Amino acid sequence: MAHRLTSRTLDTEEALVAVIGEPTKLVLAKLSNRLNALTRPFVELSPFVCVATTDAEGRCDVSPRGDPPGFVKILDDATLLVPERPGNRIADTLKNVLQNPRVGLLFFLPGVGDTFRVNGRATLTTDQELLAPCEMEGKIPKLGMIVDVEEAYTQCSKAFIRSGLWDPTRHLDRAALPTNGNILKVIQGETFDADGYDAERAARYARREGFY
């Protein structure tokens, strides 16, 4: 199907393979349907994971999750538990799981180029006994996401090398970007109090209000 900006599009897997080639046998060999002793640390030491989901119509969402390292619990080598912390209540990830249980997880470890990918099927749970080990600051999460692993494998570090993501000399000053209040002001109009919003948000974060 042609795009409005170009007619040079790829529409079949055969056309795609003709451009990028086939994966090597060694690459395919790393795919597994469970964790093992050498891949478990990628989950156990990770403080950050991105969760990809789709709704019943195929619309996609990717959402970050972060906590102290090991916040995603390994229930066994084929089952993970991702605790759900308080958020903005739009809950795209959770609503999508109710419509389509298939999820993709990408685990990051600070300073490490390799990431760890897990694809599987998710179930939402409110089992407080199961969620108890996920307690933070005296609060057990109200719900969590159980992920039954279907694929688990390491992702090479080329993207991190190319981007220099972990290179501190290339880190940006947050002040170089517009604040969240300024972005909301563009959407809401000139009467929106951007400075007040930013100050109130910073105060909530300083109090760790709504973190857990």
State the pLDDT at residue 52: 98
pLDDT at 3 over 80: yes
The answer to whether residue 95 is domain-embedded is yes
- Domain-located, residue 12: no
pLDDT digits (tens, 9 = 90+) for 60-86: 999 999 999 999 999 999 999 999 999
Same domain assignment for residues 88 and 178: no
CATH code for the domain in which residue 109 is found: 2.30.110.10
Task: Inform me whether the pLDDT recorded for 155 exceeds 70.
Answer: yes
Quick one: average pLDDT of 180-192? 97
Q: Is 152 domain-assigned? A: yes
For residue 191, pLDDT beyond 90 = yes
Spatial contact of 63 and 93, defined as CB atoms under 8 Å apart: yes
1 falls in which pLDDT band (50, 70, 90)?
low
Query: What is the number of other CB atoms lying within 10 angstroms of the CB of residue 204?
Result: 12
* Average pLDDT score over the chain: 96
- Single-letter amino acid, residue 163: S
User: What is the mean pLDDT of the segment spanning 171-195?
Assistant: 97
- Tell me the pLDDT tens digit for each residue of 4-23: 889 899 999 999 999 999 98
Backbone angles phi, psi at 49, to 5 degrees: -145, 140
pLDDT in tens, 36-51: 999 999 999 999 999 9
What residues make up the domain containing 108? Answer: 23-163
pLDDT for residue 192 is more than 90? yes
- Tens of pLDDT, residue by residue over 87-142, are 889 999 999 999 999 999 999 999 999 999 999 999 999 999 999 999 999 999 99
Q: How many domains is the chain built from?
A: 2
Among candidate residues 75, 115, 128, 121, the one with its CA nearest the CA of residue 102: 121
Q: How far is CA 91 from CA 6, 12, 86, 102, 173, in A?
A: 35, 34, 10, 16, 29
The whole-number pLDDT of residue 156 equals 93
Q: Would residue 3 count as lying in a domain?
A: no
188 in any annotated domain: yes
The reported pLDDT for the residue numbered 7 is: 87
Statement to judge: residues 150 and 180 lie in one domain: no
- Higher pLDDT among residues 62 and 26, named by residue: 62
For residues 184-190, average pLDDT:
97
Give the mean model confidence (pLDDT) for residues 152-177: 96
Q: 156 and 86, same structural domain?
A: yes
3-state SS, one letter per residue, for the chain: CCECCECCCCCCHHHHHHHHCCCCHHHHHCCECCCCCCCHHHHHCCCEEEEEEECCCCCEEEEEEECCCCCCEEEECCEEEEEECCCCCCCHHHHHHHHCCEEEEEEECCCCCCEEEEEEEEEEECCHHHHHHHCECCECCCEEEEEEEEEEEEECCHHHHHHCCCCHHHCCCHHHCCCHHHHHHHHHCCCCCHHHHHHHHHHHHHCCCCCC
Is the same domain home to 92 and 177? no
| pTM of the predicted model as reported, rounded to 2 decimal places | 0.94
Could you tell me which residues come within 8 angstroms of residue 104 by beta carbon, excluding any fewer than 6 positions away? 51, 52, 53, 117, 118, 119
